[in-house]
Structure 1
Amino acid sequence: MKRILLFLGTNLAILLVLSAFIQIFGLDQWLADKGVGNTTGLFVLATVFGMGGSFISLAISKWMAKRMMGVRIIENPSNAAEQWLVQTVQRQARAAGIGMPEVGVFESPVMNAFATGMSRNDALVAVSTGLLQNMDRDGVEAVLAHEVSHIANGDMVTMGLLQGVLNTFVIFFAHIVARMLMRDERGGGLAYFGVVIALEIVFGLLASIIVAAFSRYREYRADAGGAHLASRRKMISALESLQKTYGQSDMPKEMAAFGISGTLGQGLKKLFASHPPLEQRIAALKQG
């Protein structure tokens, strides 16, 4: 709740500062001459659509993850392995000070795992069959600790709200620039909306660089949290095991940022990578 109030407060503060800036420097008249119109009203609408979409995505994140990944929730463990899995997450969640997440397994030959959910006390941790089959228990324990740390850090909420704030500004500035370029349209017409869509794509790409940078940062934090909950040795060992198949992922694009193993990027694509290279994550843990 604190994070939600913080980001809503941030959006409101930005709106007030932006409005004051426009008034003080007389930009309201200049923008009006350019055909922009009511910037405050536009920003409010952009916030509704930008933040609204993000909140909806966050609210249904668990539901979507279960269906997109075919996650089987372990409600009543049917064997010793499932019993160990649930007990390990339960112990780590207690140590991290969060509510017990749902625990599930999804079919995939790739060693991977993810966490998602609306809040620290309403989350999901899921592991692939490939992870359970190809990694020893120490490694799986570390991977689970990494995912529990994501939940404890509030990373899913922060990521969603960051995306919402950026979406707000993408929509806002796309309309501002479009109105300046097409004064005769005054915010209407097919040509105008075509320009808006093109600008939203361009600004959206720039915004995704910011989101990806935060995503890479949160992986380092989750690794450190995993080392604390499991052990540094186990966390390093788990990441070293993941190096064997790193760069492989059969997770949908919408879910890729939530997995412990991400896809590799070359050149400019590194700016859009959701995960840092594993060798850098391992080096960070070793430096401690």
Structure 2
Amino acid sequence: MFDKIIRENQFKTNCVIALYVIIFVLIGLLVDIVRINANTLLGGFYALLNLQEFPLVAIIMLGIAFAVVLFTISNFKRILLSGSEYKEIIAGSEINMQEKNLTKMLSELVETANLPFCPKLYLMDAPYMNAFASGWNADNSLIAVTTTLVRNLSYAEQKAVIAHELSHIRHGDIRLTLMVGVLSNIMLLVVNYGVYMFLGNSREKGANTARTILIVLQFILPLLTLVLQMFLSRSREYMADSGAAYLMGDSAPMIQALQKISGNYAQSDFSQSDRNPTRQALYIFSAGEMFSTHPSIENRIKALLN
């Protein structure tokens, strides 16, 4: 069962990476059509794809896409943890009981799951209760929990949260959400700021059509990214909740943790507290309902009760 899930998530990851690379190249081709002042849109595509005109911007965008993927793979820890003070909690080097409890929980869960690896554990200073897991694969994975979560959850509830994040790693979906979180934000930056240097006036129909499509993409791509994140995250959260209940041998700690975390967000608006948008889809909880990347707490609890 787990092998099948992991294979499916790896396939989805490859599809997501391919989709974003295609979008990057498409944006580059549209900008090239404006740059060469093409008579028609199709004629511009034909000239560029057949190298009658050199697709300079498309090549640059393809390079940017691959560079972003490679940079993300090698620097994902720094990317996801930036914007907050954080520290790695290492077994044997803990400085207080809080840290000792965290390493003990993780060690017990890794042993229960009979895993050949142990994720790195990070404590992130933040005013909200949340946690996430990430990594390119299980061997270089990490789990991060916020200081507010650790202070406000019981031992069993903290352990359930870590079990939830460990389940994400076991299910092989951390690479998928990592790429979505980073690539989507880079892509939106490119669309919003990178194309304007080529958006001058033109008398040619093809160039004007390409310019119009680029402007429309500024509104469509954020919606596409949101829909994709919702599709990926909602199914994976149910699976990770179930995995946490399995590792804990009881669904109650996970239910109680979700209730307390959602209650924390109900009391305050933390939308401005997190300055790192790349980890939004990775969190154990996302505020909001219809446009949230996560299923509602009520539905997640209902699933756990069943």
Instruction: Indicate if the aligned counterparts of 1:149 and 1:225 stay in contact, CA closer than 8 A.
Output: yes
2:115 is aligned to: 97
Instruction: Indicate if the aligned counterparts of 1:117 and 1:123 stay in contact, CA closer than 8 A.
Output: yes
Instruction: Indicate if the aligned counterparts of 1:50 and 1:166 stay in contact, CA closer than 8 A.
Output: no
Letter in 1 for 2:239: R
Counterpart CA distance in 1 for 2:212 and 2:235 is 34
Per the TM alignment, residue 279 of structure 1 is displaced from its structure 2 partner at its CA by 0.9
| Deviation sequence 1:193-213 (CA, Å, 0-9, x none) | 854642432331232112222
Give yes or no for the alignment of 1:66 onto 2:81: yes
Give yes or no for the alignment of 1:256 onto 2:263: no
Q: 1:159 to 1:185 in 2, by over 3 A?
A: farther
Instruction: Indicate if the aligned counterparts of 2:84 and 2:126 stay in contact, CA closer than 8 A.
Output: no
2:177 is aligned to: 159
1:7 is aligned to: 14
Counterpart CA distance in 2 for 1:9 and 1:256 is 17
Q: 1:160 to 1:48 in 2, by over 3 A?
A: farther
Per the TM alignment, residue 108 of structure 1 is displaced from its structure 2 partner at its CA by 2.5
| Deviation sequence 1:249-278 (CA, Å, 0-9, x none) | 33332222222121214xxxx23x121111
**Please, what TM-score do these two structures have when normalized by structure 2?**
0.68
Q: 1:96 to 1:227 in 2, by over 3 A?
A: farther
Q: 2:136 aligns with which of 118, 125, 128?
A: 118
Aligned-CA RMSD value: 4.2
Report the count of equivalent residues: 260
1:145 is aligned to: 163
1:225 is aligned to: 243
Letter in 1 for 2:302: A
Q: 1:106 to 1:40 in 2, by over 3 A?
A: farther
Q: 2:217 aligns with which of 200, 203, 210?
A: 200
Higher relative contact order (CA 8 A, sep 6+): 2
Q: 1:82 to 1:10 in 2, by over 3 A?
A: closer
Q: 1:152 to 1:33 in 2, by over 3 A?
A: closer
1:239 is aligned to: 258
Structure 1 unaligned spans of 5+: 16-30
Query: Per the alignment, in what secondary structure is the counterpart of residue 293 of structure 2?
Result: coil
Counterpart CA distance in 2 for 1:139 and 1:274 is 23
Counterpart CA distance in 2 for 1:108 and 1:164 is 21
Counterpart CA distance in 1 for 2:214 and 2:16 is 28
Query: Per the alignment, in what secondary structure is the counterpart of residue 126 of structure 1?
Result: strand
